[in-house]
Structure 1
């Protein structure tokens, strides 16, 4: 089964309005909780009940959206109670883990200068040089915990604490798409131009949000991300190739 006896005691199931239920696997963001969330999300998608609409995974929970009228017609019971009971039964049936489908995505990044205006600040706040920050950032391996905030925006776990940095005290009103940032112990990539308060250390020419593709987000929860440095010339050449 998905949960041990100890883990089962920490699970909570609660309503989210009259047409959704949230299953929370814990309060702490870590790899174990992430694996349980992804396993549950895939299981519910593969074993939908009558009235099931979609399943949305976050850092520590899975929310199942359903049509209460369809549930009631099929079960003749109160929709929330029936769906909650179905979820509890499903949790007992789930395997300890599902076969991993994680992909490793390499993302090119031009660090510093106009591409990463906060690189020096991140380095100074951690007592490091710019090159040391780049070296630590590119030697990391990051798990995509969830996609959110903006279309295709990946929240990545696994940032080395040596380069952790707080959000900017004054957020920017516009951040270029492809900007790579740090906020606390997380790193991420802005797939579209949007306001934001993360510390910007670089920029990628790789398009993470592709509205004409299916799915439109290049990255998916569970993927592994590795960054590698490129020069400004390589950035511009890559950008021209993407636009061609």
Structure 2
């Protein structure tokens, strides 16, 4: 996950609408920038600053929402700047409570029909692509686009492949797609410009539960290669056969 990259970007604080502030840690996605966004968002939540109502990380930023009737923009900015100088956020420990999750995944076959195309773009054989993707341990960098839908990375440089130039009309819930050194795991059926390389039985969005999003930013995931017959066993299991352990 590019842990050895030297980070030279200075964090930037910008207003975002009438009640928001965006704290940005990079102008491109890197492991340190994502680490900083996750760690800083967790620190803001722990700080319990009166007037700040929410803080959510994205790929390289943390969005802070505040009550403008209680706390002005200048005051919010000052408090966030004070927090920024407390430590090197690019090397900060990731938030506690993270999990490592092994998710059974079918690569290729009619369930994930674009594996061979993606492998070719990445300069690999299909077998090499399955080995590369299924052995990768990736981080949930952010949740977005659809309820509970994670962006995960970073994959090796070989997977710095572009999105398609046309949309796939629909991929199913549980579809694993790949582009620009990232996985996206679909929480709902949707069109996509990313190549569909794997299929899981994991149900990511569970609105009937107290914690409706199964994955959280900072979780680590490995998409383990299994056969279609194995995946078929998990159709009634919302965890899709996943093995879950705490990261300590």
Tell me, yes or no, whether TM beats 0.5.
Answer: yes
Assess if the C-alpha contact under 8 Å between 1:56 and 1:63 holds in 2.
yes
Alignment partner, residue 29 of structure 2: 29
Deviation string for 1:151-173 (max 9, x for gaps)?
11111112123344321221123
User: Could you say if the C-alpha distance between residues 111 and 84 of structure 1 is closer, same or farther in structure 2, counting changes exceeding 3 Å?
Assistant: same
Question: Could you say which structure has the higher helix fraction?
Answer: 1
Alignment partner, residue 11 of structure 2: 11
Shift in Å, 1:100: 4.6
Q: What CA distance in whole angstroms lies between the structure 1 residues aligned with 2:128 and 2:171?
A: 24
- Residue correspondences, number: 231
User: Taking structure 1 as the reference length, what is the TM-score of the superposition?
Assistant: 0.87
User: Taking structure 2 as the reference length, what is the TM-score of the superposition?
Assistant: 0.85
Alignment partner, residue 74 of structure 1: none
Q: What CA distance in whole angstroms lies between the structure 2 residues aligned with 1:63 and 1:172?
A: 31
Alignment partner, residue 214 of structure 2: 218
User: Could you say if the C-alpha distance between residues 215 and 94 of structure 1 is closer, same or farther in structure 2, counting changes exceeding 3 Å?
Assistant: farther
Shift in Å, 1:133: 0.9
Deviation string for 1:83-113 (max 9, x for gaps)?
1111112223458634652311111111112
Alignment partner, residue 80 of structure 2: 87
Shift in Å, 1:134: 0.7
2:122 alignment partner, one of 100, 121, 126: 126
Deviation string for 1:114-162 (max 9, x for gaps)?
2111011112233432222111111111111111111111111121233
Which runs of 5 or more residues in structure 2 are unaligned?
1-5, 240-248
**Residue 201 in structure 1 maps to residue 197 in structure 2:** yes
Shift in Å, 1:41: 0.6
Measured on the aligned residues, the alpha-carbon RMSD in Å equals 2.2
Larger Rg: 1
Alignment partner, residue 168 of structure 2: 172
Q: How does 1:145-160 map to 2 (within 5 A)?
A: 145-160=141-156
Q: What CA distance in whole angstroms lies between the structure 2 residues aligned with 1:187 and 1:145?
A: 10
Shift in Å, 1:52: 1.3
